[in-house]
Amino acid sequence: MLQDQDRIFTNIYGMHDRTLKGAQARGHWDGTAGILKNGRDWIIDQMKASGLRGRGGAGFPTGLKWSFMPKESDG
């Protein structure tokens, strides 16, 4: 049986606080800062290597789609 730390969605049935603060309290965002420190190109390379595809009819590769985003933010 999966333990909570092995699950992607630990609140799928809405039994816990659904707010961002609630998710943070459960540790769902603990690794985010470390991932972001690796930088944009590393994240995109990881997505490409994962083979993750979109859910649309064409199943477009997610990493490739993300690589089309502008390198600089306008916000």
Enumerate the domain spans of the chain.
35-75
Does the pLDDT at position 27 exceed 90? Answer: no
Task: Select the more confidently predicted residue: 61 or 8.
Answer: 61
Poorest-pLDDT segment among 8-12, 55-59, 61-65? 8-12
**Dihedral sign for Cα atoms in the order 22, 3, 7, 10:** negative
pLDDT exceeds cutoff 80 at 50: yes
Distance (Å) of CA 64 to CA 47, 48, 55:
8, 6, 14
pTM of the model: 0.65
- State the amino acid at position 63 in one-letter form: G
Nearest 5°: phi and psi at 13?
A: -95, 5
Q: What's the pLDDT at 71?
A: 85
Paired with 53 in beta bridges are 61
pLDDT confidence of residue 4: 61
